[in-house]
Amino acid sequence: MAILNFKRKAPAAPVNDGTLSSFLNGFSIEVMPRTAAKIEDFRKILPEGTRVYVAHIDGTPIEEMVETAARITSEGFPVMPHFPARIIKDAATLEDWIKRYADVGVSSALLLAGGVDNPHGDFSDSMQLLGTGLFDKHHFNRLHVAGHPEGNKDIDPNGGDAAVMDALRWKNDFQNRTDASMALATQFVFESAPVIAWANMLQAEGITLPIHIGVAGPAKLQTMIKFAMACGVGPSVRVLTRRAKDVTKLVMPFEPTQVLSELARHKAANPNFNIESVHFFPLGGINKTAEYTAAHGNPARIKAHA
């Protein structure tokens, strides 16, 4: 009697039909001053014109933030520093920060509430920052705000999305009545279905702000789970917990190829889909994320350096 050898069927590989590279065209990446300092020259690892967000963690001196922004700007990249409302004392402090950034060539900002529970001063959300008019006064022409595909218990502590949607309508109206170029930069996600449903819901509600969807760059699964728990990532974290049940995969890098491929194919099939760009959180390191984008993105956008 013949012995039959059964092999576990491997997961289907993402379709390499050009949709992923097209979807990654124009991606952005997030750094912190301490992580940026480890990169000798961003021109050696990122495509020309890549937008670089600089995250402002509570306790980071503004001088360090501006120094990082100045350095990356000098290397030819558009820089978008964070303005976390809850760590900004007052309007005078806000204007001081804006001026400092403007002096080193920055004219973009990501406005968000910030990761602290209690405001340090007069501001508690991004709408209050927008309402000061200070960004317009100092000619900041691109203003991004936070998006939450899986909800936000900080804004809607009892669940649901009523407060989140009210805030989005306000921001959408702000874009319509000003000259600001705006977009929603989201927290990182691991599953495409909740993102597609959320994006479609925004369109149905008349929210026209384009979406820059957040994904985590390649990292060890343990690292990914740690950051997901700390950042309050919602239902799509089940992708990680399912994988974690296989102990052999705990030390293997987790890559965002599946979620990106699914979103890319949806975008290709639905050209009016409102995800405009991909934003990478380099949880496993900036170099690893840069290598991933070079391998999966459009080679024509990769600027060669000696």
- 101/59 Cα distance (integer angstroms): 18
pLDDT recorded at residue 298: 60
- 73/69 Cα distance (integer angstroms): 6
pLDDT recorded at residue 181: 95
pLDDT recorded at residue 40: 97
- The residue written with tokens 């925004």 in the block is 202
pLDDT recorded at residue 156: 52
Q: Integer distance in angstroms from the first to the last C-alpha of the chain?
A: 62
pLDDT recorded at residue 241: 61
pLDDT recorded at residue 254: 84
Tell me the H-state helices in 205-256: 221-231, 238-244
pLDDT recorded at residue 9: 34
pLDDT recorded at residue 164: 87
Domains along the chain with CATH numbers: 19-301 (3.20.20.220)
pLDDT recorded at residue 151: 65
CA atoms within 13 A on the CB side of 236: 26
In tens digits, what is the pLDDT along the chain, a chain of 306 residues?
333 332 333 333 444 568 999 999 999 999 999 999 999 999 999 999 999 999 999 999 999 999 999 999 999 999 999 999 999 999 999 999 999 999 999 999 999 998 788 999 999 999 999 999 999 999 999 999 999 887 655 665 565 678 889 999 999 999 999 989 999 999 989 889 999 999 999 999 999 999 999 999 998 877 766 655 555 555 556 565 665 545 455 556 789 999 999 999 999 999 999 999 999 999 999 999 999 999 998 644 444 332
Helix, strand, coil: what percent of the chain each, to 5?
Answer: 45, 15, 40
Reported pTM = 0.86
Q: Nearest to residue 27, comparing CAs of 220, 286, 305?
A: 286
Q: Nearest to residue 178, comparing CAs of 218, 132, 147, 220?
A: 132
Alpha-carbon distances of 268 from 17, 29, 94, 172, 297, rounded to whole Å: 11, 23, 41, 25, 15
pLDDT recorded at residue 243: 54
Q: Kindly state the tokens that stand for 151.
A: 């909800």
pLDDT recorded at residue 236: 53
pLDDT recorded at residue 8: 33
- 22/72 Cα distance (integer angstroms): 25
